[in-house]
Structure 1
Amino acid sequence: MIEISKKFDQPPVLILTAEQAVHSVSENRDELSRWFRFRLPTDKSVKLLSSKADFHDFSLRHDFPVPRTAILESPCDVALLDQLTFPCVLKPDDKRSALSGEKERAIRVDTLKEAREHAAAMLETPGGIVAQEWIEGADSNIYFTLFYRGDNGQAVATFTGRKLSCYPRNVGSTAVCIAAPDAREVLEPMTLAFAECAGMDGMGSMEYKWDDHHLKFVMIEPTVGRTDWQEEIATLCGVNIPFSAYQYELGHPVASPEPRQASVAWRATLIDKLPRHLRTGVTNMVDGYFRWDDPLPALKYYCLNDPLRRIVQLAQQKSPSARPGMC
């Protein structure tokens, strides 16, 4: 990275997009700050917010709404699952263990027996896990607020969106999403209040789910120090958060972008479909890889990066035995 920076007349703005990169830059920030312009929370805050267990404890201490959770650090802690109401979701405490393939990213379990079996298997590899009680609601109950915070907590840019479907169902990544102006007045102040409390400077986001039983939003997990999977829906709706961050860090004036009431939806791939009952008002579907004026990313992704896997994925989505969409 330093060798790349030496090619520029001025330190370039560094915008991170991957979990591992956030930790690498955070741990080497003193040296890298001589060569790049970037904004991150303190390393202590990066580590706290990257741990689902620490995030849960922090949220409880500061009265932010989170699902009831058991923290399992070793096989001896499996007994803590007895305290939960099922179904639940099991996740690795540190997302990097899922990205490296050491643990499953997320598993929904419907019974205590099933939870004990999966928890024991996940704890065979280094690192703890968390078990969160399931928040009732469909995929479309998932919301998110993206942001960039500058000096003194200034909200440089914010955007609130809503997932319409996930893949895999129940516990997957965003498949289709849209803007959510109706939730903005509730979620953006809550997100920025959490960011202020936790010292979340720079790029970040918070994911929520609307609880159909208790009729309230519950925090699921934050993203710290990097762009999120849903960043492009914000840009399509007029809020280009990375560009606003770039302008801000260069000291240029940043106009306060207001999200447009766009009828656009973003989908991760051509395979992902907009749920039929949620199509009202959506007139434009934008693919995550394909553009007529820039087709090469789609060519590489769909034709060169394991096309057989795309066919299998499509077949799974069309399977009538698949469980109705929940996330």
Structure 2
Amino acid sequence: MGEKQAALVIGVCSHGLSVIRSLHANGVTVFAIEKSTDIPGVKTNTISQLFQVKDFSAEELLISLPQIRKSLSQWNEIVLFATNDNHVKFICDFFPQLTTYFKISWAEQREMVGQLIDKRNLEHFSKAAGLNYPKSAIINQSSQKDTVLSDFRYPVIIKPAKPLSSFKTQIARSHEEVNKLTEKFAADLPFVAQEYIEGGDQTLYFCALTLEAGALVQSMVGQKISSFPPARGQTTIAQTSENHEVTDFTLRFFAQFKLSGPVSLEMKKAPDNTYWVIEPTVGRTDFWSELCIKAGFHQPYQEFLIALGQKASTQSLTGAVWFDCERAPLNYFKACRAKKTFKPFGKPPAFTYFRLGDLKPFFAACLLLLKRLILKR
């Protein structure tokens, strides 16, 4: 692509590292922004230049991004990549300022993306697509909980409506536990409260799509094997799965919006074999994108091409299993010991940091783990 197009990734967390590596593997020159130089991802050899910022606040990014773009003036077009929902919201909120400098794959659908990252809208969108969504209510103030949950069946899942609050999900098994949670996390109001759908980690599925103006470019289904906290937290082990029902439901959900770029939908299979919408991801790839990349589904590169108005390429998918060795550093070794094999789920493994040809992030992560273990002792 010569000196014409490049990518700028916000954040070099483990997820950002996956995005960067995928782009680099497909011949894209990648730049990145990070506030900390101590995290393992900054050690990667796949970043052409790392720009440090004080923090990821809107105020800081609105100053830094134009300056960074000016320093990269030799590049005709630079595609901006978000790696979490706060970044997505920032792009939505300040799109007029950013569009002068960067290309964004979902630019034309930014208003809809903004609505989809607000969990308060998900019940309406799910039901409009004819999909099951758990009985839900919005708690805007601590005093409302007694009224809005009066006819709910416990246990109840509590999660923040706003992106990247101080917690992901909490479970309350009684009215008293709801009271404690609303007091503890009052700063994160409003909350979404939902009746809990029974089932463990392996009843959780997700389908990742790349879309172009609503048209399907490629899809892949994954299944959680474990998460933390169990059955309601961040994925720690996941594998590819052949589940056409989940694909069909996901396509039905997103058909309403005509989006472009990467999206995904998480669903849960109840004991009666019905599927229930948990939540979508829009405007970015998901935390488990390394699973997609290992399987041959290079969503970041497809997002890059779509942002530039080029045809997104695809390749055949293979089976894979992904281990999040950041949140659960020893989960691969525990699985190997339990299954008595180095291929514990019968599929080629992928890891958060380990990548042949780019080992410095892995060694940095090992050093951080060793330090934590020493401090713990």
Query: Which whole-Å CA distance do the structure 2 matches of 1:65 and 1:140 have between them?
Result: 19
Alignment counterpart, residue 94 of structure 2, candidates 28, 34, 45? 28
Cα deviations by residue, 1:260-292 (Å, 9 ceiling, x for unpaired)? 2x2x31101032244958x87524332211224
1:203-222 alignment runs, 5 A limit = 203-212=262-271, 214-222=272-280
Match of 2:169 in 1: 106
Task: Give the 5 Å matches for 1:154-193.
Answer: 154-181=215-242, 183=243, 185-193=244-252
Amino acid at match of 1:282: G
Whole-angstrom distance in 2 between the partners of 1:243 and 1:120: 43
Q: CA RMSD in A?
A: 2.6
- Distance (whole Å) between structure 1 residues aligned to residue 144 and residue 226 of structure 2: 33
Equivalent residue for 2:9?
Answer: none
Query: For 2:264, what is the secondary structure of its paired residue?
Result: strand
Q: Any residues of structure 2 matched to 1:31-46 within 5 Å, and which? A: 31-40=97-106, 42-46=109-113
Q: TM-score, normalised by structure 1?
A: 0.83
Contact kept in structure 2, 1:70 and 1:84, CA below 8 Å: no
Counting matched residue pairs gives: 301
3-state SS in 1 of match to 2:372: helix
SS in 2 for 1:55: helix
What is the percent sequence identity of the aligned residues? Answer: 22
Aligned residue type for 1:204 = V
In 2: Cα distance, 1:272 partner to 1:237 partner: 20
SS at match of 1:9: coil
The structure 1 residue matched to 2:144, chosen from 74, 77, 81, is 77
Normalising to structure 2: TM-score of the pair? 0.72
2:135 is matched with: 68
User: Contact 1:75–1:120 at 8 Å: present in 2 too?
Assistant: yes
Give 1:133's aligned residue.
195
Distance 1:26 1:234, change over 3 A: same
Q: Tell me the equivalent position of 2:285.
A: 227
Aligned residue for 1:228, secondary structure, equals coil
Q: In the alignment, what sits opposite 2:30?
A: none
1:110/1:188 CA distance change after superposition, 3 Å: same
> Partners in 2 of 1:265 and 1:35 — Cα distance?
37
Alignment of structure 1 residues 195-274 onto 2, 5 Å: 195-212=254-271, 214-260=272-318, 262=319, 264-269=320-325, 270-273=329-332, 274=335
Q: List gaps (5 residues or longer) in structure 1.
A: 316-327
1:177 CA drift (Å): 0.6
Letter in 2 for 1:227: T
Distance 1:60 1:220 in 2: 13
C-alpha displacement of 1:208: 0.7
* Distance in 2 between residues matched to 1:299 and 1:281, nearest whole Å: 25
Report what 2:46 is aligned to: none
Partners in 1 of 2:151 and 2:365 — Cα distance? 44
Structure 1 residue 14 displacement after superposition: 2.0
2:159 equivalent to 1:91: yes
Cα separation, partners in 2 of 1:172 and 1:64, compared to 1, 3 Å: same
SS at match of 1:67: coil
Measure how far apart 1:242 and its partner are. Answer: 1.0
Residue 146 of structure 1: SS of its match in structure 2? strand
Change (3 A) 1:109 1:126: closer
Range moving further from structure 2, 196-205 or 164-173? 196-205
Distance in 1, Cα, partners of 2:258 & 2:125: 12
Distance 1:305 1:231, change over 3 A: same
Alignment partner, residue 324 of structure 1: none
How far the C-alpha of 1:249 sits from its partner, in A, is 3.2
- Three-state SS of the structure 1 residue aligned to 2:81 is coil
SS class of match (2:168): coil
Paired position in structure 2 for 1:322: none
Aligned to 1:320: none
Q: What is the rounded CA distance, in whole Å, between the counterparts of 1:204 and 1:306 in structure 2?
A: 36
1:304 aligns with 2:368: yes
The question of whether the paired residues in 2 share the 8 Å contact of 1:157 and 1:244 is answered with no
Which stretches in structure 2 are left out of the alignment for 5+ residues?
Answer: 1-64
